[in-house]
Amino acid sequence: MKETEELRAARGMRRAVLGDTYVDGQSAEPDPVAAEFQDYLTTTAWGVWARGGALSPRDRSLLVLAMTAALGRMEEFRLHLDGAPRIGVTDAEVDELLFQIAAYCGAPAGSAARRSVKAVRVQREDER
């Protein structure tokens, strides 16, 4: 895929949120289809993050957390939860978000998100 300014910005945003270790691990896949798929995801999903506009990366992070929890995509929820502090999302904001998730997406989504929050925070403490 041709390296455009938009793709460079999207790659930078992805790396800023998810961290070098995750991005480098995903980019190391030798399969050309996997590399093309990563470029596609970066251009579409992370391009939205990099486009600017009225939402800050912090706001976008909170929205992604809410949407992935609503959809039951706990692996993606945990991935974004791990990256959220890198762009200014606090634990207190995530705790409050859990109530929003439970109220608007249902108790199962809220409970699953809460379990993921607990696991990510334990892992964070273990890594310190």
Return the CATH number at 93: 1.20.1290.10
Range of the domain at 48: 1-52
Q: Are residues 39 and 59 in the same domain?
A: no
Are 98 and 80 part of one and the same domain? yes
**Tell me, what's the pLDDT at 17?**
96
pLDDT at position 88, please?
97
My answer on whether 5 and 28 are in the same domain is yes
Helices (H) and strands (E) in the chain, counts: 8, 0
Both 101 and 114 in one domain: the answer is yes
Q: Assess whether 92 and 47 both reside in one domain.
A: no
> Looking at the structure, do residues 9 and 20 belong to the same domain, yes or no?
yes
pLDDT of residue 2: 64
110 shares a domain with 59: yes
- Per residue in 88-121, pLDDT (tens digit) is 999 999 999 999 999 999 999 999 999 999 999 9
Angle CA 88–93–97, to nearest 5: 130
Residues 60 and 112 in one domain: yes
Give the residues of the chain that fall short of pLDDT 70.
1-2
Alpha carbon distance 6, 42 (integer Å): 10
Give the Cα separation of 63 and 46 in Å (integer). 13
**Count of domains forming the chain:** 2
Measured CA distances, 41 to 7, 79, 117 (Å): 10, 15, 25
Which residue, chain included where needed, has tokens 């809220």?
110
pLDDT of residue 35: 85
Q: What is the secondary structure of 67-106 as a DSSP string?
A: HHHHTT-HHHHHHHHHHGGGGT--HHHHHHHHHHHHHHH-
